[in-house]
């Protein structure tokens, strides 16, 4: 089973700044943890990050043709603003799980709104980098359930 992990803007900076909000794990650390878990779950992942809205959308648009069965996404700030990202996810019709490292509801009000959550198969937030791992477990279950029904 192939899962695409999509990461939005500034997540490449993880571990270098704002460590009180996002922790000290780097983006590469999270990638390594996800790779280990994927192996345990017998899933194959590709981890993609871009600071550009269009690049994220292009990647999501190709997901079905590239053989992915689900999308794990930390949209970063685009989750609060991008109708285009929402539309791209809906157009794939693949199940997606939204993750956030921080608890967006405990932060500034402009972060309380997600344009993706109501269409997500699940949302995991506030567990630090573990949000990704919990999200991957949930998504793999959803894809397996869908395949068996």
105 in catalytic set: no
Binding residues for ligand CA2 restricted to 99-118, rule: CB under 6 A: 100-102, 104, 111
Q: Which token pair is 116?
A: 């993706």
Tokens 């894809």 found at: 143
Q: How far is the CB of 28 from ligand CA2 (least distance, A)?
A: 13
C-alpha to C-alpha distance for 125 and 105, rounded to whole angstroms? 9
Question: Is 18 among the residues that bind ligand CA2 (CB under 6 A)?
Answer: yes
| CB nearer to ligand CA2: pick between 69 and 82 | 82
The DSSP annotation for 38-107 comes to: HHHTT-EEEEEE-S-HHHHHHHHHHTTTTT-SEEEEE-TTHHHH-HHHHHHHHHH---EEEEESS-GGGS
Q: How far is the CB of 65 from ligand CA2 (least distance, A)?
A: 27
SS3 125: strand
Question: Is 76 among the residues that bind ligand CA2 (CB under 6 A)?
Answer: yes
Q: Which token pair is 55?
A: 């690049």
Q: Say which of 80, 100, 112, 132 is annotated catalytic.
A: 100
Which member of 22, 68, 96, 132 binds ligand CA2 (CB under 6 A)?
22
Which stretches of the chain bind ligand CA2, using CB under 6 A? 10-11, 13-14, 17-18, 22, 74, 76-77, 100-102, 104, 111
């Amino acid at each position: 089973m192939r899962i695409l992990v999509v990461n939005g803007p500034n997540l490449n900076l993880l571990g270098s700044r704002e460590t009180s909000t996002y922790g000290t794990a780097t983006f590469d650390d999270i990638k390594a943890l996800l790779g280990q878990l994927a192996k345990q779950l017998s899933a194959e992942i590709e981890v993609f990050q871009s600071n550009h809205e269009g690049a994220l959308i292009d990647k999501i648009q190709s997901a079905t043709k590239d053989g992915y069965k689900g999308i794990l996404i930390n949209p970063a700030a685009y989750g609060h603003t991008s109708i285009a990202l929402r539309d791209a996810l809906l157009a794939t019709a693949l199940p997606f799980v939204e993750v956030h490292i921080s608890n967006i509801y405990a932060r500034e009000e402009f972060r309380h709104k997600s344009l993706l959550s109501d269409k997500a198969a699940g949302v995991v937030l506030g567990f630090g980098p573990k949000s990704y791992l919990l999200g991957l477990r949930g998504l793999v279950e959803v894809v397996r359930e869908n395949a068996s029904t």
